[in-house]
Chain A
Amino acid sequence: MIDKIKRPFGYEPLLRKEDLGRRKKKEDQRANDFWGTLVRLWQFMRGERRLLYFIIFVVMITSLLTIVGPFMIGYTVDNYLVVQQFDGLITLLMFIFFIYVLSAGTQYLASFLMVGLAQRTIYNLRVRLFSHMQQLSVRFFDKRQHGELMSRMTNDIETLSQTMNSSFIQFTTSIVTLIATVSVMLYLSPLLTLLTMTIVPLLVFGVAFVTRRTGPLYKQRQRRTGELNGYIEEVISGQEIVKVFSQEERTINDFEERAANLRHVTFWALLYAGFIPKIMNMLNNISFAIVAGAGGLMALYTDGLITIGTIVIFAEFARQFTRPLADLSNQFNQVLSAIAGAERVFTIIDTEPETDDGTIEDQAVEGKIDFKNVYFSYDKEQFEHTIRDLSFSIDAGESVALIGSTGAGKTTVMQLLARFYEVDGGEILIDGTNLTDYKRHTIRSQTAFVLQDPYLFEATIRENIRYGKLDATDEDVIEAAKLANAHDFIMQLEDGYDTVLELDEGFISQGQKQLISIARALVTDPAILLLDEATSSIDTVTELKIQEALEHLMKGRTSIIIAHRLNTIKAVDRIFVLEQGQMLESGSEEELMRRKGRYYEMINAK
């Protein structure tokens, strides 16, 4: 039996004794910082405070009007109906009606304003989080599942939004009502009030019992939801692979496991949270009994100190007194999970953005590039240095091809230049100045980077090409598409340049995506051009045609390309042969052929 209570429905208890101790002064204390998060939210609403005070004012009026209403009805019953005196009754009723309408009006006004305020705050928080994410490093995103991040942007903020809409007003109402009732009770009978108050310690104990448990549980629940999100996002994005490997059963099992974990923690969270109203209910009933019983005894013993009328009124007031408390504690669950969500949001906002303390802004660069003893590793714990002591120098306007086996660090060189990552050692110079001395956008806005994996947005083809240069005219876009050999196939599509690229990938092949992403680079007029396997999925006949466009594009710009075509490689000024993150040899095609080193070997391996 005891075991059944400890493990209801087979759910193992989740919380251990040590979880329930007083706040641990460990590093996870920050994560449990309820008040800290609340204060941050308060700071976040700085611009709205005046409105908030006004809302509190309106809510107070509403609460008082709400108390006056029933009081007036009682008055009418006592003074008109009981004594059967009906003169002026209609006027009085009209007056009460007016009070009701007024209180409904102020109530709606408060809610109306509060909804606006809450949603504005939520909007600001979303926008703040999103803008902050735009400033985070690529490394940050490498380490996290997209779905998990999305969960913070949506689920967590949504929970907060729902809470803000209702809890704040309810909270204020409860407090006002509480103060008003207790005052009246004290006025009627201090002794009975004191007796009624004996439930307060019980209440405090009960609430503390529950919140010590629900706090960590709600946090765990949000985290599990995030994990589940991450899993769903990944599996559904990779659905093609799931299907073709017939792994549906496996993903379903994995999913069930994660969903069961979530169910497990949700069960406990809901269970404990559900205790609060029950405790309130019991205390309510007890206080009712105390008033009736103790009041009755007092009436009998003290003879006249307490009247029947006082007991009746008190019984009603005792209810009035516990109701706002019940409301407050009911709100508590919601507030807890909302704060847990807000905390997760703030964690991201607190993540250091990419450092961008360079001072050089809006300066046109010529494009001279120097690598000086550069070291770099993607993850020092798992991988060795991808780039080791790499030094080279590229003149402005010079073109260079990077070749070497896979994993030699070719793409990494480009990513470092685009400053997706910071070097671990050594330095990268542009026009003789350290890359970190420039504002990021100074270099990025003058660089065109065609990535290995062409990514296109769910937007029209025109918008996708224009992404390279937002003020490009339609003619510029078409011109770029023509140079990239994309124009013909685009025109074959039903809506031409206005075809919306859906997530449905069938419409457009991988090679066609590469053509569009080349066109996207062609509309820009960069000082530095980075092409990472820009034509790998394009057939060789088309590739030959684009070749011209690319060579044209490379003219007069510092260009670094990664390619396999000899034609492309021969068209550049110099070739760098990389191996294991180091420079093996470099020089013009002819020089390398003459040297009979690695490049010569590679050519002759044909």
Chain B
Amino acid sequence: MAIALLCMLTELTVELLQPFFISKVIDDGIVAGELDVVWIYLGVMLGLSLVSFAAGIINSYFASFVATSFSYDLRTAIFKRVQNFTLTTLSKFPTSSLITRLTQDVLQTEMLLYMSLRIVLRAPLLVIGSLVMSFVVNPTLGLYLSILTPFLLIFLYIVAKKGAAIFLRVQKRLDKLNRFIQQNLEAVRLIKANDRASYENNKFFSVARNLKSDTVAGLRLMESILPVLLVIMNTSLLLVIWASSDLLATGGVQIGEVVAVINYGLRMQGGFSMFAFIIIAYSRSKASSERMNAVLESPIVENNHEVINKEAKAGSVRFENVSFKYPGSTRYVLKDISFEVAENEKLVIMGGTGSGKSTLISLIPRMYDVMEGRVLVNDKDVQDWNEEDLRQTIGYVPQSAILFSGSIYENLLWGDDEALHSDIVSSTEKAQIHDNIKDFDHEYKTIVGQRGVTLSGGQKQRLSIARALVRRPSILILDDSTSALDIKTESALWSALDGEEATRIVITQKIVTAKTADRVILLDDGRISAIGSHESLIEESELYRRINASQNEGGHLDD
């Protein structure tokens, strides 16, 4: 960085020396009739040009290096921060806005830094230097030259401030536009099925229109800088001429001095015009840096618990009077939940739609923190666990199977990146997906699109189960993850899973699955309505009997 600045100063010096040399050529060469002097200065000037060029090239190297390294560091710092967000924090930032922060905002800052190293510092140096020199030449004229400068500075300050506010708004609009596009991409089938293309178009038009009008307002404000600046600076020059007419008459100033001060005024003008550019860059990057800071200052997971033992295998799970509501909501989703699952037991959780089943299990790998009560794994509060240790022991299969673009094999490695091929195969066999994979032309190397769009619902679910099994979890959590499977596949899957040495916590709608559990929890509106074996619940719980009846009279094809 220092080298970059040094090179820039070298360039500046050479540039400022050139007028000096030309005066030498004229005074000592031509006027004096010395041919050699002309040749010498010609050589010196050409030589200096090359020196300046070399300095410029070196400056390019360093400026590019510093700017790109900086943006790389910034980008990875933000991404790391996001990766360490709690889900609560993450939900405050829409994905699309995080993308803009990680790309456009970083880019904006990168450009500002790059420009700073090349030209930005030059501008104030030029302005200050010229101002100082004009005072040295003639204080009175210098005063006239600088009399309007404070107004100019105030004007620039106001514009910069206002500009930053507008560009912050522009960024928000841009976020909104991004979010809209993101949703549109995700819902592509829904939109087509409902034939809503023109409806979506109209909505998009208004979002884009808002962005347009704010951008126009911001840019027009910025475009006003240069004209105002030129008028003010040129007026200063006219003031200098006007003042010098009196001073010349009284002999208070020499004509050469007037010319010099006018010259410095012109140089200041050049410096100030660079300011216009700087202010635009500054306003934009100020907005950007605020947005990036919002990410960098957001709370992250506190994980100050030492990794105690990577091999620490958990087994039992206990809830003690747990209550929970989602951040930002006032409604409790879970109320006073207490239960226990011993090692290698199978617990089934049932309950109506929206009764809190998925929320309950998400507390075990500490996706969210409880409001009241405690969740314990192996008799230890999950908040006291080292997060990685805790999650290492859990195989979690979410309700909607989320896969990533890449090969099937790569997706399975998410479970454990050190897994051997044989581990992978044994997991896919248990998850009843191995044969399907073998049927694909590229087998395990088959590429799945984003979210696994090219696979069927059942295939996605089974891959997602296999991914969890690759971890060899001691607690296996399945959130209604077999809904798209046919009966044969599902029963084969269950017999494989029930053979695993692991505590199994399973959300299901199906009584037939509940029958195989050591214990069943029936949730109703966030509370435990009944708990016990299938048989005891049939006796005790009216709700459970209703569920049972609903499946007996019709039954599922898969039951």
Task: Tell whether A36 is near chain B: CB-to-CB under 8 Å.
Answer: no
Task: Tell whether B326 is near chain A: CB-to-CB under 8 Å.
Answer: yes
- Min CB distance, B80 to chain A, in Å? 6
Over the window 283-314 of chain A, the binary record of Cβ atoms lying under 8 Å from chain B Cβ atoms (1 yes, 0 no) is: 00110110011101101100000001001100
A489 touches B459 (CB 8 A): no
CB contact between B57 and one of A275, A285, A492 (< 8 Å): that residue: A275
- A142 / chain B contacts, CB cutoff of 8 Å: 449, 453-454
Question: A239-B90, A506-B91, A539-B547 given. 16 additional CB < 8 A pairs?
Answer: A76-B241, A123-B211, A131-B197, A143-B449, A146-B182, A232-B79, A244-B396, A246-B391, A256-B76, A267-B68, A382-B447, A452-B457, A455-B186, A455-B187, A494-B329, A540-B556
B83 touches A248 (CB 8 A): yes
Q: A296-B38, A382-B441, A468-B194 are in contact. Are A403 and B557 (CB under 8 A)?
A: yes
- Min CB distance, A525 to chain B, in Å? 13
B52 touches A282 (CB 8 A): yes
A138 touches B42 (CB 8 A): no
B456 touches A541 (CB 8 A): no
CA gap between A403 and B556 in the complex, in Å: 12
Q: B152-160, B229-237, B335-343, B371-379: which one contacts chain A?
A: B229-237
Task: Tell whether B419 is near chain A: CB-to-CB under 8 Å.
Answer: no
CA gap between A171 and B501 in the complex, in Å: 73
In chain B, residues 422-445, which have Cβ atoms closer than 8 Å to a Cβ of chain A?
436, 439-442
- B112 / chain A contacts, CB cutoff of 8 Å: none
Task: Tell whether A317 is near chain B: CB-to-CB under 8 Å.
Answer: no
A150 touches B53 (CB 8 A): no
CA gap between A510 and B379 in the complex, in Å: 31
Smallest CB gap from A514: residue in B: B353
A250 touches B71 (CB 8 A): no
Task: Tell whether B146 is near chain A: CB-to-CB under 8 Å.
Answer: no
Of the A-B pairs whose beta carbons lie under 8 Å apart in the complex, a sample of 17, sorted by A's number, is: A97-B238, A134-B198, A141-B185, A146-B185, A236-B99, A240-B87, A247-B414, A266-B64, A270-B63, A277-B118, A278-B56, A282-B56, A288-B22, A448-B193, A494-B329, A511-B353, A606-B487
Task: Tell whether B149 is near chain A: CB-to-CB under 8 Å.
Answer: no
A308 touches B193 (CB 8 A): no
B216 touches A407 (CB 8 A): no
Task: Tell whether A379 is near chain B: CB-to-CB under 8 Å.
Answer: yes
CA gap between A412 and B557 in the complex, in Å: 20
A512 touches B193 (CB 8 A): no
A259 touches B353 (CB 8 A): no
Smallest CB gap from A245: residue in B: B414
CA gap between A236 and B546 in the complex, in Å: 40
Q: A509-B358, A538-B353 are in contact. Are A297 and B417 (CB under 8 A)?
A: no
- B63 / chain A contacts, CB cutoff of 8 Å: 270, 274
Over the window 240-284 of chain A, the binary record of Cβ atoms lying under 8 Å from chain B Cβ atoms (1 yes, 0 no) is: 111111111011100110011011001110110011011101100
Smallest CB gap from A264: residue in B: B68
Task: Tell whether A122 is near chain B: CB-to-CB under 8 Å.
Answer: yes
A506 touches B205 (CB 8 A): no
Task: Tell whether A411 is near chain B: CB-to-CB under 8 Å.
Answer: yes
Task: Tell whether A174 is near chain B: CB-to-CB under 8 Å.
Answer: no
- A89 / chain B contacts, CB cutoff of 8 Å: 241-242, 245
CA gap between A570 and B554 in the complex, in Å: 9
Over the window 520-559 of chain B, the binary record of Cβ atoms lying under 8 Å from chain A Cβ atoms (1 yes, 0 no) is: 0000000000000000000000010011001101111111
Task: Tell whether B516 is near chain A: CB-to-CB under 8 Å.
Answer: no
Task: Tell whether B268 is near chain A: CB-to-CB under 8 Å.
Answer: no
B22 touches A315 (CB 8 A): yes
A271 touches B61 (CB 8 A): yes
- A233 / chain B contacts, CB cutoff of 8 Å: 95-96, 99, 182
Task: Tell whether B317 is near chain A: CB-to-CB under 8 Å.
Answer: no
Q: A25-33, A99-107, A178-186, A389-397: which one contacts chain B?
A: A99-107
- Which of A158, A237, A406 has its CB near the most chain B CB atoms (within 10 A)? A406
Q: A259-B76, A282-B56, A503-B95 are in contact. Are A308 and B26 (CB under 8 A)?
A: yes
Q: A238-B404, A467-B196 are in contact. Are A509 and B56 (CB under 8 A)?
A: no
Smallest CB gap from A532: residue in B: B457
Q: A300-B33, A504-B91 are in contact. Are A115 and B11 (CB under 8 A)?
A: no
A541 touches B547 (CB 8 A): yes
Smallest CB gap from B388: residue in A: A246
Q: A247-B414, A285-B14 are in contact. Are A149 and B185 (CB under 8 A)?
A: yes
CB contact between A407 and one of B29, B199, B442, B459 (< 8 Å): that residue: B459
CA gap between A379 and B242 in the complex, in Å: 81
Task: Tell whether B49 is near chain A: CB-to-CB under 8 Å.
Answer: yes
Task: Tell whether B35 is near chain A: CB-to-CB under 8 Å.
Answer: yes
B192 touches A104 (CB 8 A): no
In chain B, residues 241-264, which have Cβ atoms closer than 8 Å to a Cβ of chain A?
241-242, 244-245, 248-249, 255, 258-259, 262
- Min CB distance, B408 to chain A, in Å? 11
Over the window 44-87 of chain A, the binary record of Cβ atoms lying under 8 Å from chain B Cβ atoms (1 yes, 0 no) is: 00000000000000000000000001100100110011101010
Over the window 68-86 of chain B, the binary record of Cβ atoms lying under 8 Å from chain A Cβ atoms (1 yes, 0 no) is: 1101100110011011110
Smallest CB gap from B187: residue in A: A455
CA gap between A73 and B14 in the complex, in Å: 27
Task: Tell whether A219 is near chain B: CB-to-CB under 8 Å.
Answer: no
In chain A, residues 479-509, which have Cβ atoms closer than 8 Å to a Cβ of chain B?
489, 492-494, 502-504, 506-509
CB contact between B358 and one of A255, A510, A536 (< 8 Å): that residue: A510
Task: Tell whether B293 is near chain A: CB-to-CB under 8 Å.
Answer: no
B182 touches A100 (CB 8 A): no
Q: A190-198, A438-446, A548-556: which one contacts chain B?
A: A438-446
- A274 / chain B contacts, CB cutoff of 8 Å: 59-60, 63-64, 114, 118
CB contact between A100 and one of B91, B98, B235, B329 (< 8 Å): that residue: B235
- A440 / chain B contacts, CB cutoff of 8 Å: 195
A543 touches B550 (CB 8 A): yes
A154 touches B65 (CB 8 A): no
A288 touches B65 (CB 8 A): no
Q: A315-B22, A407-B436 are in contact. Are A420 and B230 (CB under 8 A)?
A: no
B186 touches A564 (CB 8 A): no
CA gap between A241 and B196 in the complex, in Å: 32
A270 touches B87 (CB 8 A): no
A451 touches B199 (CB 8 A): no
Task: Tell whether B100 is near chain A: CB-to-CB under 8 Å.
Answer: yes
- B94 / chain A contacts, CB cutoff of 8 Å: 503
B179 touches A458 (CB 8 A): yes
Task: Tell whether B228 is near chain A: CB-to-CB under 8 Å.
Answer: yes
In chain A, residues 93-149, which have Cβ atoms closer than 8 Å to a Cβ of chain B?
93, 96-97, 100-101, 103-105, 107-108, 111-112, 115-116, 119-120, 122-123, 126-127, 130-131, 133-135, 138, 141-147, 149
Task: Tell whether B420 is near chain A: CB-to-CB under 8 Å.
Answer: no
B227 touches A104 (CB 8 A): yes
Q: A506-B326, A533-B483 are in contact. Are A444 and B38 (CB under 8 A)?
A: no
CA gap between A549 and B211 in the complex, in Å: 43
Task: Tell whether B469 is near chain A: CB-to-CB under 8 Å.
Answer: no
- B56 / chain A contacts, CB cutoff of 8 Å: 277-278, 281-282
A270 touches B249 (CB 8 A): no
Q: A270-B114, A455-B186, A503-B94 are in contact. Are A296 and B30 (CB under 8 A)?
A: yes
- Min CB distance, A247 to chain B, in Å? 6
A251 touches B83 (CB 8 A): yes
Task: Tell whether A234 is near chain B: CB-to-CB under 8 Å.
Answer: yes
CA gap between A426 and B359 in the complex, in Å: 47
Over the window 398-415 of chain A, the binary record of Cβ atoms lying under 8 Å from chain B Cβ atoms (1 yes, 0 no) is: 000001111100010001
Q: A86-B249, A270-B114 are in contact. Are A418 and B192 (CB under 8 A)?
A: yes
A234 touches B245 (CB 8 A): no
- A539 / chain B contacts, CB cutoff of 8 Å: 350-353, 355, 509, 547
Q: A153-B181, A246-B387 are in contact. Are A311 and B26 (CB under 8 A)?
A: yes
Task: Tell whether A3 is near chain B: CB-to-CB under 8 Å.
Answer: no
User: Lowest 7 CB-CB distances: which A-B pairs, in order?
Assistant: A406-B458, A567-B554, A293-B42, A511-B353, A278-B56, A506-B326, A289-B45
Q: A93-B241, A149-B185 are in contact. Are A260 and B178 (CB under 8 A)?
A: no
- B41 / chain A contacts, CB cutoff of 8 Å: 292-293
- Min CB distance, B139 to chain A, in Å? 19
